[in-house]
Amino acid sequence: MKDLTTGNEFKVIFTFSVPILIGNVFQQLYNTIDSIIVGKFLGKEALAAVGSSFNIMLLLVALASGLTLGTNILVSRYFGAKDFASVKKAIDTSYVFTLILSILVTILGICISKSILLLFSVPNEILPLAQTFLNIILLGTISSFFYNTISGILRSLGNSKTPLYFLILSTLLNIVLDIIFILLLNLGIGGTAFATVLSQTFAFICSLIYLNKTYPQLKFDIRNINFDLAIFKQNLKIGLPSGVQQALVTCGFLILQFLVNRFGPDAMAAYAAAGKVDSFAEMPVLNLGIAISTFISQNMGANKYDRIKKGYISTLGIGFIISILASTIVISFPKQFMNLFTNDSSVTQIGISYLSTIGLFYILYSTMVITNGVIIGLGNSLIPMLATTTTLWGIQIPLSIFLSRKMGIDGIWLAVPFGWLAGVIFRVTYFLSGRWKKKFSTAQANLNLNN
């Protein structure tokens, strides 16, 4: 366990966020390796199928992550307040919720997978491949959800290194299984899906064993699990708006995927490949958003108001530096990045257009994500949800539709920074208004949920 309520804010946030960043780099790495192997050895149709079906899976994961975010915030607060009995109740409650949610997602997802793919205009020549990939990935929902839940719990306790170790091992396993299933056993697109599921299951089992042995007071014991209704309600109060927000964001990606699909398989393959590069570039600030949320939550629990602003400013500084570096790299080498995934010149050109446009504006994305993390850490997940609804669905998506009709596929890419800019204005305005201070002053009262 690591206490984030003491020490230099910049140093504390930086050292806490680095393992999260490295861990998510490896998580993205095995998704990217899947795409590289699929694109190089199974063709652009298979690459397009992975890209289109993977976005749908991201919707389910985003919804679950948002709903369980309340647990992470509460665990951080209780830990900051040194209330370990409530930490245990929050974790047990999260286990029950995650199990029920993952079972429902698995069953429902498999039943409607084809309908969802058809809804988003996946072409007929790609549909069977996409459905095969998606259905196999859905079989691993329980492992995926539980791994993310336990990783979130460990980070809430200040332990950001252990999830990294398990992700590294999982990624290496995924690479080995990809080689075996696709290159040696010729299992096709199903092989890459099975490799991902087995790797995620391995990471889940390792993380659960570690949590039980390292933190015996928090050990998972199905015979003595303590589901606390009051904590569950507080969890939903924080997590439900965040879940809706994450679902809205991912649904926005699906709408963009729908728009891209209308331009054919080349555009779909380019979007899938360039999106992987974009994910790597955006990942550092996403992890800063996670880190600052935990930092803010622990300091709320410890009633240390002065560290909130200092932590926010320090994180913005880190984010600005990272964003400038990411923009420089992406817009300097777009062709080289695309050549990792495909040898098709048409696909490569579309991907270059994507990266050259989006890559210019990562500093906007950084400011939006970090400020979003601060607000969530304060326990106010309603504001980010409203911001997403207003800026993504009120500005970016309509603008994408309009510009794609006027400019072709380049119009979809051009609309993205407008959405980011609007998101920055909405969130920063809320923080500067000072209304969050009232939230801070009542946080201590919310900790004692059972009174």
pLDDT tens column, 163-217: 778 888 888 898 888 888 888 888 888 888 888 899 889 989 998 899 888 888 7
| The pLDDT value given to residue 30 | 65
* Residue 234 counted as domain residue: yes
| The pLDDT value given to residue 449 | 43
* Alpha-carbon gap, residue 64 to 58, rounded angstroms: 10
Judge whether 427 and 436 are in contact, CB under 8 Å.
no
> Three-state SS across 384-426?
HHHHHHHHHHHHHHHHHHHHHHHHCCHHHHHHHHHHHHHHHHH
Terminal Cα-to-Cα distance of the chain (whole angstroms): 27
Average pLDDT (433-451) is 55
Judge whether 213 and 21 are in contact, CB under 8 Å.
no
Can you read off the two tokens belonging to residue 64? 């679950």
* Alpha-carbon gap, residue 445 to 443, rounded angstroms: 5
Judge whether 158 and 7 are in contact, CB under 8 Å.
no
Domain containing residue 14: 9-447
Judge whether 7 and 162 are in contact, CB under 8 Å.
no
| The pLDDT value given to residue 63 | 65
* Residue 1 counted as domain residue: no
* Residue 264 counted as domain residue: yes
The mean of the pLDDT values for the chain is 81
Best CA proximity match to 30, nearest among 148, 170, 152: 170
| The pLDDT value given to residue 447 | 45
Best CA proximity match to 237, nearest among 18, 13, 443, 25: 443
* Residue 2 counted as domain residue: no
- Which tops the pLDDT comparison, 55 or 424? 424
**Reported pTM:** 0.67
Q: Which of 109-123, 176-190, 222-236, 408-422 has the highest mean pLDDT?
A: 408-422
Can you read off the two tokens belonging to residue 379? 């326990």
* Residue 4 counted as domain residue: no
Based on the structure, what is the number of domains in the chain? 1
**126, amino acid identity:** I
* Residue 251 counted as domain residue: yes
Q: Provide the pLDDT confidence category of residue 451 given band limits of 50, 70 and 90.
A: very low
Which are the contacts of 65, defined by CB distance < 8 A and separation ≥ 6?
A: 148, 152, 243, 246
2 CA to centre of own chain: 23
* Dihedral over Cα of 124, 128, 129, 135: its sign: positive
* Residue 3 counted as domain residue: no
* Alpha-carbon gap, residue 5 to 18, rounded angstroms: 18
